[in-house]
């Protein structure tokens, strides 16, 4: 896959996962409060259900940042937040603001590390980004009352899903670089 295809796939994944996260929070899981649905992320710990999509979006953000730059990444974040307004205007504002702050933190953390190790840079920036995003998002979307519990559980959930998405990328990269490639396409029925 070439660089443009990677950028386009990451752009779509980021926009879609921002929208999906807000849709999940509004519709999937146990309703803790109006507009807030949670799912279990650990024994006895619930997080806003959008963590499923956010872990993926943090990794997609790193790929888009790497292949297309920070401006394109910020456009994708704004587009995802704008589409989220169809789900909930309040969540869209909280989500867009938190993502832009997390992208700024990502640039500070990921950019210097990406040359040494893109995977380590992605993991480090996902940790910093999930912390920044969680605190700002929970504060803006649900107020300071649930900040500590929701933000900490959201960080845990995001890190779980983020690590899973990085693991899939590492496995895919390993498979693409290590598996023998056929020089000729195999015909059906051929031995």
Q: What is the distance in angstroms between the CA of the first residue and the CA of the last residue of the chain?
A: 28
Most confident range, picked from 72-76, 153-157, 173-177: 72-76
Of 95, 31, 89, whose CA–CA distance to 57 is shortest? 95
pLDDT at 83: 92
Of 50, 9, 28, whose CA–CA distance to 151 is shortest? 50
What angle (nearest 5°) sits at the alpha carbon of residue 94, between those of residues 164 and 153?
A: 40
* 64-117 pLDDT, tens digit each: 888 898 899 889 989 998 999 998 898 889 888 988 888 788 778 877 887 787
Q: With 70 as the cut, is the pLDDT of residue 180 above it?
A: no
For the whole model, what pTM was predicted? 0.75
d(CA 123, CA 110): 9
Report the percentage of the chain scoring pLDDT > 70.
81
d(CA 155, CA 47): 8
DSSP-H helix ranges across 32-146: 51-68, 70-84, 89-113, 118-142
* 131-154 pLDDT, tens digit each: 888 888 888 888 776 666 677 777
* 5-15 pLDDT, tens digit each: 888 999 999 99
Structure tokens at 170: 């590492």
pLDDT at 27: 94
By the 8 A CB rule, do 46 and 32 touch? yes
Q: What is the residue extent of each domain of the chain?
A: 3-174
CATH class of the domain comprising 3-174: mainly alpha
Of the candidate ranges 9-23, 100-114, 173-187, the one whose mean pLDDT is the lowest: 173-187
């Amino acid at each position: 896959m070439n660089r443009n295809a990677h950028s386009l796939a990451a752009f779509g994944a980021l926009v879609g996962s921002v929208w999906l996260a807000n849709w999940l929070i509004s519709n999937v899981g146990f309703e803790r409060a109006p507009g807030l649905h949670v799912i279990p992320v650990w024994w006895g710990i619930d997080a806003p259900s959008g963590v499923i999509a956010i872990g993926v979006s943090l990794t997609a953000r790193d790929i888009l940042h790497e292949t297309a730059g920070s401006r394109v990444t910020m456009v994708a974040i704004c587009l995802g937040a704008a589409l989220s307004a169809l789900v909930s205007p309040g969540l869209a504002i909280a989500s867009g603001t938190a993502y832009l702050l997390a992208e700024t933190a990502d640039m500070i953390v990921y950019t210097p590390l990406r040359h040494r190790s893109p995977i380590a840079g992605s993991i480090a920036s996902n940790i910093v980004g999930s912390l920044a995003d969680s605190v700002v998002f929970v504060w803006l979307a649900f107020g300071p009352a649930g900040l500590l519990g929701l933000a900490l559980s959201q960080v845990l959930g995001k890190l779980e899903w983020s690590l899973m998405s990085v693991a899939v990328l590492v496995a895919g990269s390993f498979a693409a670089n290590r598996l023998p490639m056929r020089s000729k396409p195999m015909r059906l029925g051929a031995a």
